[in-house]
Structure formats: C-alpha cells, structure tokens
Amino acid sequence: MIYFVIAVTVIYIIYMTYKNGEPLASISEISYVAKHHWEFMAYMLFLAVYVLPVMYRKSSPGTRFLTYITALGMFMAIITPVFRTHGAIFHDVGGVITCVACQTCILLNHPILLLAWFPYVFFFLFMRKENHCHPVFWAEMTVLENMFMYSLI
C-alpha cells in the first residue's frame, strides 16, 4: 500500500506543479493551485491515514507517541488549507510539528534515513540562488521521502 501512496504522491505533485506553471513553494500551495481547497485536505488526510499507522507499527514502544504528535501537526495543517488568508500561524506551527516529530521518530528508530537531509542541506547552502527553487517545498519532500522510506524498511 505504501507503494500506492508514493505513486499517488508523485503523480499528484507533478500534476499540481504542471497546473501551477512553476515549481510549488510548498506542498500546502496545492490548496491554491487545485480547483477546490478540499483536494489538499483530502490528499493530506490520505497520506496520514495510510502512512502514519505503518510508522506507528514500525516504531519502538517508547517512540510511538511521536506518530501521534506527527498526526496532530498534519491535522493542524489540514484544517487550515487557506493559510495565506486564515490560520497562517496555525498552519505553519502544524507543519513544523509534523516535521520535527516525524524526523525525531525516524532519528530514534532508523537514524541512517536522516542522511536524506544531506542533499537538501547541500542544495540549500550552495545552489539555491542559482536555481530559484523553494527550500520549504524541498524540505517537505525530504520529510515525505523519509516517511516513505521508514514505512518501507
């Protein structure tokens, strides 16, 4: 099932990037590119429902609570899809909670997966100005990649 979630994620993000006409600034920007805000909400809920239970099962008993905190952060981002006009702080805090809790869970269970952050750090420090890419989008993609890899191990 994780492979299906990965396929949906890749196809959906490529489609939304194409529809936007330029690289997305963040995954949350999908709520503005999509015809309806609920599309972003549905995708994030789909992601949470299918990935977080797998992460919970693969986590050690002492770190399982981090998947609940990850879910809380995702829920905070999900319920504020119109983050540019309403709930920007709530949305951003939810995103930070999701990233920190998820990556902490991975750090405590399979720290080798955090090596995925090295290309992001390298790119952000040395190549960002040349390519005009959005660092938030690529940070979110790194978090997603780590979630998927953790679920597959």
Average pLDDT, consecutive stretches of 10 residues, N- to C-terminus, the chain (153 residues): 91 88 83 80 91 96 96 90 74 92 96 92 74 79 94 92
DSSP 109: H
Q: How buried is residue 9: exposed, middle or buried, by Cβ count under 10 Å (0-12/13-18/19+)? A: buried
Q: What is the pLDDT of residue 72?
A: 96
Rounded to two decimals, the pTM is 0.86
Q: What is the pLDDT of residue 130?
A: 63
Distances (CA, A) of 70 to 52, 97, 119, 121: 8, 6, 23, 22
Tell me how far apart the alpha carbons of residues 51 and 2 are, in angstroms, rounded to a whole number: 7
Q: What is the pLDDT of residue 105?
A: 96
Q: What is the pLDDT of residue 28?
A: 81
Q: What is the pLDDT of residue 100?
A: 96
Q: What is the pLDDT of residue 132?
A: 63
CB 99 within 8 A of CB 143: yes
Query: Taking Cα atoms as reference points, which of 65, 60, 123 lies closest to residue 97?
Result: 65
Q: What is the pLDDT of residue 124?
A: 78
